[in-house]
C-alpha cells in the first residue's frame, strides 16, 4: 500500500521518509494551519528536496489559481491537493497544469457518489477526510463503512485520523471491493511530537507494517 505523510515541515524528515519508501510528502500551503509550510521552510528549500521515491504534494485551501500555480513552479510540486470549497471549474484550471487531488470531508449521512460526481472528469484523484469545524485535518476518523460497497471509479487517498494502531483496520479495509480504487493511505497528526514534527520511529514501524498489506 502506498503512503502519504502530510504536514511536513523539515527537509531532513522528508528525506528520512524517502529512505523508508514513502511515496508522498504533503506540504500545507494554508496560512491558518499550524503546519503552514512557509512558517518553517522557504520555497527554495522545498524545491531542492529530491528523493528516490517521494513526490511532493501541495495542500491548498481556497487559494487563487495564480497562488497555486506559482507554488507548483517555485516548490517543484508533483501534485496539488485542494482541500477547500474549490468548484469543478476552478479544479479544471489547475488540472490543466498539474495533477489534482480533490479532497472531500465526509459525514456519516453523506452520499459520497453524489458529492464527487461533478469532479469525476476533472480531478485525477480524490481524498476522503473527516468533516470538521474548519478546513484541513481534524485528527479524527470518519466511518469508513460509508465507502463500503461503493464503486468510486477514481483512485483515492484514505485520510482522517489514521494512527499507529490502525494497521489491522487498513488491512481489513483493503479487502473490501471499494479498495480496488484505494490509491494511498494518508497520515499526519497521529504521528506527531508537535505540529509538523513527526515521530520517525513510530512512522517507521507503521510504514513497515502497512507496506506488507
Half-sphere exposure (Cβ direction) of 6: Cα atoms closer than 13 Å = 34
Identify whether 124 is a catalytic site residue: no
- E strands present in the chain: 2-5, 24-28, 55-60, 79-82, 99-106, 125-130, 156-158, 182-187, 192-194, 197-198
Select which of 18, 129, 166, 186 is catalytic: 129
Task: Enumerate the H helices of the chain as residue ranges.
Answer: 11-19, 43-48, 65-75, 88-95, 112-116, 167-174, 200-210
Give how far Cα 174 sits from Cα of 30, 98, 181, Å. Answer: 31, 28, 10
Phi, psi dihedral angles at 76 (to 5 degrees): 65, 45
Identify whether 129 is a catalytic site residue: yes
Give how far Cα 138 sits from Cα of 48, 55, 133, Å. Answer: 30, 24, 8
Select which of 6, 75, 166, 186 is catalytic: 6
In this structure, what C-alpha cell is assigned to residue 167?
494497521
Q: Which residues carry out catalysis? A: 6, 129
Amino acid at each position: 500500500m502506498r503512503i502519504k505523510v502530510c504536514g511536513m515541515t523539515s527537509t531532513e524528515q522528508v528525506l528520512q521518509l524517502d529512505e523508508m519508501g514513502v511515496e508522498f510528502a504533503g506540504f500545507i500551503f494554508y496560512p491558518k494551519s499550524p503546519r503552514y509550510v512557509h512558517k518553517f521552510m522557504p520555497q527554495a528549500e522545498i524545491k531542492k528536496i529530491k528523493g528516490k521515491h517521494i513526490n511532493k504534494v501541495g495542500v491548498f485551501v481556497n487559494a487563487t489559481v495564480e497562488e497555486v500555480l506559482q507554488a507548483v513552479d517555485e516548490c517543484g510540486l508533483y501534485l496539488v491537493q485542494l482541500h477547500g470549497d474549490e468548484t469543478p471549474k476552478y479544479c479544471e484550471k489547475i488540472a490543466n497544469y498539474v495533477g489534482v487531488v480533490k479532497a472531500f470531508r465526509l459525514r456519516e449521512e453523506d452520499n459520497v457518489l453524489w458529492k464527487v460526481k461533478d469532479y469525476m472528469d476533472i480531478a485525477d484523484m480524490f481524498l476522503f477526510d473527516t468533516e470538521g469545524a474548519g478546513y484541513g485535518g481534524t485528527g479524527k476518523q470518519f466511518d469508513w463503512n460509508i465507502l463500503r460497497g461503493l464503486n468510486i471509479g477514481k483512485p483515492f487517498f484514505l485520510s482522517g485520523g489514521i494512527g499507529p494502531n490502525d494497521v489491522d483496520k487498513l488491512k481489513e479495509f483493503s479487502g473490501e471491493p471499494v479498495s480496488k480504487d484505494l490509491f494511498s493511505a494518508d497520515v499526519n497528526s497521529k504521528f506527531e511530537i508537535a505540529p509538523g514534527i513527526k515521530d520517525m520511529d513510530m512512522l517507521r514501524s507503521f510504514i513497515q507494517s502497512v507496506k506488507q498489506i
